[in-house]
Amino acid sequence: MNVTQNNSEEKKYNKWIVVLAIVIPLVVAVLSRMKLQDFGIEVEPLTFLPPIYATINGLTALILIIAVIAIKNKNRVLHENLMTTAIWCSALFLLMYVAYHMTSDSTKFGGEGLVKYIYYFILITHILLSIIIIPFVLITYVRAITNNIERHKKIAKITFPLWLYVAITGVIVYLMISPYYIH
């Protein structure tokens, strides 16, 4: 495939990237603020989920690092498999995050002083970058599957550190707020 064919192939996915980049954050925001109990659906709070989805965030960070090492060692198949796994881990995280918030009340951070400001800085940057990263991940993935490798490499240099930051800060947010969870 030449560059023109790659770009043409890539453009087929652009509408989906735009739709998903808008719909995913909106659906997560709306659903995570709705409570199943408000619709007469009685379910036990899924309080066991936060440590699981925090672990998935940590696993995602580890997968991302190993995937970069794999591609630097020219192991493209391993890199592709790891990146696909990282995407599935992120999707699984989102499902569990929404399920938790649809069944449980939000936990307030109880820290005081400097730690409170650090927590909110990490939380806010985590949330904002978790929204921003969606189109980056999708574009990077599409450039890879359409074999537009040079353009894939260029955007991957931006996507990787952003996604890694989101994954790691997800774990940090959990560790900082976990003492305040009501079980």
Q: What is the pLDDT of residues 40-73, one digit of tens each?
A: 888 999 999 999 999 999 999 999 999 999 999 9
Signed CA dihedral, 170, 175, 177, 182: sign only: positive
User: Is-contact 158 132, C-beta < 8 A?
Assistant: no
- How confident is residue 11, by pLDDT bands cut at 50, 70 and 90? confident
> What is the rounded CA–CA span in Å between residue 166 and residue 143?
21
pTM summary value: 0.91
- Assign 3-state DSSP to the chain and report helix, strand, coil percentages, each to 5: 85, 0, 15
Question: Is the per-residue pLDDT at 6 higher than 90?
Answer: no
8 Å CB contact between 16 and 22: no
Q: 3-180 has which CATH code?
A: 1.20.120
147 φ/ψ sector (left φ>0, alpha ψ -120 to 50, else beta)? left
Express each pLDDT in 24-33 by its tens digit.
999 999 998 8
Cα 59 from chain centroid (whole Å): 12
DSSP at 179: G
Q: What percent of the chain has pLDDT over 70?
A: 96
Closest CA to 115 of 176, 51, 166, 172: 176
How many secondary structure helices (H) and strands (E) does the chain include? 5, 0
The whole-number pLDDT of residue 78 equals 98
pLDDT digits (tens, 9 = 90+) for 152-168: 999 999 999 999 999 99
Is residue 1 over pLDDT 60?
A: no
At 132-145, the pLDDT tens digits run: 999 999 999 999 99
Q: Is the pLDDT of residue 38 over 70?
A: yes
The residue whose two tokens read 């806010």 is 124
Instruction: Give the start-to-end residue ranges of the domains of the chain.
Output: 3-180
Going through the chain in order, the beta strands assigned E by DSSP cover: none
- Mean of all residue pLDDT scores within the chain: 93
pLDDT of residue 12: 87
Give me the sign of the Cα torsion angle 171, 123, 112, 114: positive
Kindly state the tokens that stand for 21: 């980049």
The whole-number pLDDT of residue 2 equals 59
The pLDDT value recorded for residue 3 is: 61
Mean pLDDT, to the nearest integer, of 77-96?
Answer: 97
Closest CA to 171 of 50, 65, 89: 50
